[in-house]
Amino acid sequence: MNNTKPDFDAIVVGAGFAGMYMLYRLRARGMRVRVFETGTSVGGTWYWNRYPGARVDTETMFYSYQFSEELQQEWDWPERYPAQEDLAAYARHVADRFELWPDIQFETRVEATAWDDDANLWTVETDDGARLTASFCIMATGCLSAVNYPEIEGLDDFAGETYHTAHWPDGGADFTGKRVAVIGTGSSGVQSIPVIAAQAGHLHVFQRTANYVMPAHNRPMAPDEVAEIKANYSALRAKAKRSFSGNYFPVAGPSALAVSEEERNREYEVRWAMGGLAIMATYADFQTSDAANETASEFIRNKIRAIVKNPEVAELLAPKQLFLCKRLCVGTDYFETYNRDNVTLVDISDTEIDRITPEGVLVDGEFYPVDVLVLATGFDAVTGALKRIDIRGVNGLTLRDKWADGPKTYLGLSISGFPNMFTITGPGSPSVLTNMIPSIEQHVEWISGCIEHMRKHELGRIEAEVTAETDWVNHVNDIGDKTLRATCQSWYFGSNIPGKPRVILPYAGGFPAYAKKCDMVADGGYSGFSLR
């Protein structure tokens, strides 16, 4: 090993909520850190996803950092589910408050990283031609950041305006009086469709799969509610961490089948009135029993039938897959929007879009002329952002090759063959099945604790062992295959990307079990890792 001094102790890729906190923690340990970020400001997902109607669907008093008591006490969220601009403003406030800006290089994309086994260093190449070295490379690239542009014939020939929800222009888009097509009815489509419909001349929604959508019931935060949460913040945060998803949702009982239909529906009505994601936790067997799950599925389908006036449209909007197989959506006036005269639902569940022409969309021989095309087609989730970087580990092994049949990681934190690299909320960690910000904090704290341990013991290299990684991957897949999430096509399994291996991407065993495992690994002197 030679003793080349690296340019930085750590390079962090991405300045979203993960990258910002990682920078804060490492710098607090006296490390020299450089963060690279493609965007012009901080916030990651909340920087890029500026589509009309974009707002978080997790209660923001809990979808926020908790590492700083001062921060969580001083910041005031305006609404129960704040809009993208408020989340982006919060990210900027954090960068101001903790003076993160000088260590973040914006408008810079990391294109490649390569491990030098002799020097124990990563070399990171950026799109401005720079090559910089660091002892650690930490990927804070986000789970839902690699944009999925669908492979639809003729898309590039469309003569009107085209927008993707996850890459929205800064100045917004004006739909006034225009003929608009939205392709995609996941969370981004569900949030944007009502807002676009209110402005457009006519909106056609092209739906491949109908989704379950709960009403948000968004509202301003009441001062007494805020005061109560702030007075009990640490206890409430601790309670959330003990729950499966890292969100505190009250559980009504172990099984939907153990209570009468009347009692069950009363409970579902309470959750519908509450709004948001709380219905997910009503009964503990939604992920293990088709029959239990079907009770909630049918409850929501009946709500759709009651809201949507045209029974044929209502049936098209009523999801066929089980509730919680795909990600539950939260919307405002989503189903009501289909009662508008200027909105038409086009079912493409059996017939793919034939092609996009310069003037519109052709489906099953029928032509829909449009001026604006909105792609709400989601992401190459969890692995996409990592695989889009040319990452080369020991002996030039590429991450793309290593993951050709699906991601392999130890705890979603580390990859054998890629020493001194950490992935924040990587595949095989609970990430997108949990409240993301607490999950990010848990990872950042684990990684900074690990680096601290290495520095204390004068260790220069850490790498996941193949056996530990294989055992973890098998465990992740075993649990994933047992959940009802395995019964439909969803981005959780990579099914939305043509050719992507069908493998569960997040760990579906819950936040508490996962965090306990991570603690045990650390307490055991980083068992499953080779350190030297």
Of 394, 526, 422, the closest CA to residue 117 belongs to: 394
Closest CB 489 distance from ligand N01, rounded Å: 6
Token pair in block for residue 297: 């599925």
Closest CB 493 distance from ligand N01, rounded Å: 11
Closest CB 197 distance from ligand N01, rounded Å: 16
d(C-alpha 239, C-alpha 247), whole Å: 8
Q: Closest CB to ligand N01 belongs to which residue?
A: 186
CA 463 vs CA 197, 387, 526: distances in Å: 51, 19, 10
Closest CB 194 distance from ligand N01, rounded Å: 13
Closest CB 284 distance from ligand N01, rounded Å: 22
Closest CB 348 distance from ligand N01, rounded Å: 6
d(C-alpha 82, C-alpha 46), whole Å: 11
d(C-alpha 192, C-alpha 411), whole Å: 35
* Residues paired with 345 in a beta bridge: 205
Q: Closest CB to ligand N01 among 124 and 144?
A: 144
Token pair in block for residue 521: 């690994």
Q: Closest CB to ligand N01 among 346 and 389?
A: 346
Which residue type occupies 412? G
d(C-alpha 138, C-alpha 22), whole Å: 8
* Cβ contact 143:440 at 8 Å: no
Q: Closest CB to ligand N01 among 38 and 165?
A: 165
d(C-alpha 173, C-alpha 374), whole Å: 10
Q: Closest CB to ligand N01 among 56 and 440?
A: 56
Report the interface residues with ligand N01, using CB under 6 A: 56-57, 144, 150, 152, 165, 183-189, 191, 208-209, 327, 348, 353, 376-379, 432, 491, 496
At residue 329, φ and ψ (nearest 5 deg) are: -100, 155
Closest CB 57 distance from ligand N01, rounded Å: 4
Residue 409: Cβ-neighbour burial (10 angstroms; 0-12, 13-18, 19+): buried
Q: Closest CB to ligand N01 among 304 and 353?
A: 353
Closest CB 331 distance from ligand N01, rounded Å: 9
Alpha helices in 459-510 (DSSP H): 466-482
- The separation between the first and the last C-alpha atoms of the chain, rounded to the nearest angstrom, is 12
Q: Closest CB to ligand N01 among 144 and 451?
A: 144
CA-based torsion, 209, 214, 218, 221: positive or negative: negative
